[in-house]
A and B are shown apart, each in its own frame.
Chain A
């Protein structure tokens, strides 16, 4: 996290020194500072930050694609004369211990159309998800666990 702040500060410093605070120049400064920090922190413990950034970028694309797919499916369901619904409330056990990670995970699940996180068990060991279409609940659980939980875990706990 502190490496990230350093990265942002260096990007602002770059913009100040070049006298141009446009989004494009700030972004260029960020990329430049990222490279410099990568060279400087080769042996330190803050190495994980450089694994995190590509993962975050990968996750953003994965999430956007998933939201797009679910939206198309939602549109087809709502517009079709007889709505094909197979709703269910499914309990998904959580491996993640980190509270921030669990909050992030449940928020992301709610933001995908068709799934809604209803509640987290008081001992933080299971998430209860309401979904619109469930063919096979084991498959649904596996999708949540390998698709979302694994990625969020990698980003948070790296």
Chain B
């Protein structure tokens, strides 16, 4: 009985987190915010559902597989989010107008793809602003 309650609450919370991830995907105003909403709530939700399966089956084989799945989920989701965010920033995907601050602006050197700690001035032809301007002019 106690085990069933644990399993049910793990499934319920997990499913609810995944539902929130989906809702966030629809409601959030820009790509970075959408990624924030989906990449963690999604992986955490899936992790909780897997934990529920572990408690339900109480079998060594299933536990090992579920734990391995959780580890790889948590290892790969941040890397994917980093790569998507970086690619989007290089492509000039706009940040939402309510964004208070953007420290990345001007920090990428576009020819070498290096990220500098010191900002390049916006009139430099290698800065993101200049490239976006050039695309707009085209």
Q: Contact residues of A with B, CB < 8 Å?
A: 23, 67, 71, 74-75, 78-79, 83, 85-91, 93, 106-107, 110-123, 125-126, 128, 130, 132, 134, 137
Contacts and interface: CB of A to CB of B under 8 A. Distances in A.
Contacts, number: 125
Given A106-B82, A119-B86, A88 B102 contact: yes
A24 B126 CA distance: 59
B20 A110 contact: no
Most buried by B among A23, A90, A118: A118
B81 A90 contact: no
Given A87-B98, A116-B35, A75 B85 contact: no
B44 to A, nearest CB: 7
Given A110-B40, A120-B115, 16 more contacts: A74-B41, A78-B20, A78-B24, A83-B28, A88-B102, A89-B95, A91-B103, A91-B104, A106-B78, A110-B78, A113-B44, A118-B82, A118-B104, A122-B114, A126-B117, A128-B115
Contacts of B43: 111
Given A87-B33, A89-B103, A110 B39 contact: yes
Contacts of A107: 74-75, 78-79
B36 A83 contact: no
Contacts of A90: 101, 103
Most buried by B among A23, A86, A91, A115: A91
A107 B114 CA distance: 20
Nearest to A114: B36
A125 B86 contact: no
Contact of A119 (B28, B82, B101): B82
A118 B98 contact: no
B85 A116 contact: yes
A126 B102 CA distance: 14
Nearest to A117: B82
